[in-house]
Amino acid sequence: MKTGEVIFRLAKRDDLPAIVRMLAEDDLGSQRERSEETLPESYTMAFEQIERDSNHELIVAELNEVVIGTLHLMFLPSISFQGGLRAQVESVRVDKLYQGQGIGSDMMKWAIERAQKRGAHIVQLTTHQSRAEAHRFYERLGFKGTHLGMKLSLK
């Protein structure tokens, strides 16, 4: 149960174990992530790349100095929409102990506000076809399934 104020901030390197653990907690993430006592170096390398790029923000939700949520917010310059800036949200997770308490909604609203302040004309995201509950969550926030997303795996 949530007691205290949840804050949203840029992730620090020390947050990586908690972030990777949350990414690995669900069915899809458990197939692709490695939440180990000593994380593979690839996570640190990705974090450093994100940290250096002003168009990427790895965000955490923190309650009483414990990381309980995360998302990756990317800003994508585009020629379309008259040179409009898009905000892309990926890897949204809330710790299982804190789900259903409005933290995910608050975190997404915070990210949307951040995108507006940055001048983005749209916030977009992808969510796996199998995540029906996530689809309903995003629809409650005003997102609409207007496009068909496609991916080509290179590995």
Q: Which two tokens stand for residue 108?
A: 């997404």
Decide if 31 contacts 131 (C-beta within 8 A). Answer: no
The DSSP code sequence of the chain is ---S-EEEEE--GGGHHHHHHHHHSSHHHHHH----SS--HHHHHHHHHHHH-TTEEEEEEEETTEEEEEEEEEEEE-SHHHH-EEEEEEEEEE-GGGTTSSHHHHHHHHHHHHHHHHTEEEEEE---TT-HHHHHHHHHTT----S--------
**pLDDT, tens only, 110-128:** 999 999 999 999 999 988 8
Residue-level pLDDT at 1? 58
CATH number corresponding to 6-140? 3.40.630.30
**pLDDT, tens only, 37-88:** 888 899 999 999 999 999 999 999 999 999 999 999 999 999 999 999 999 9
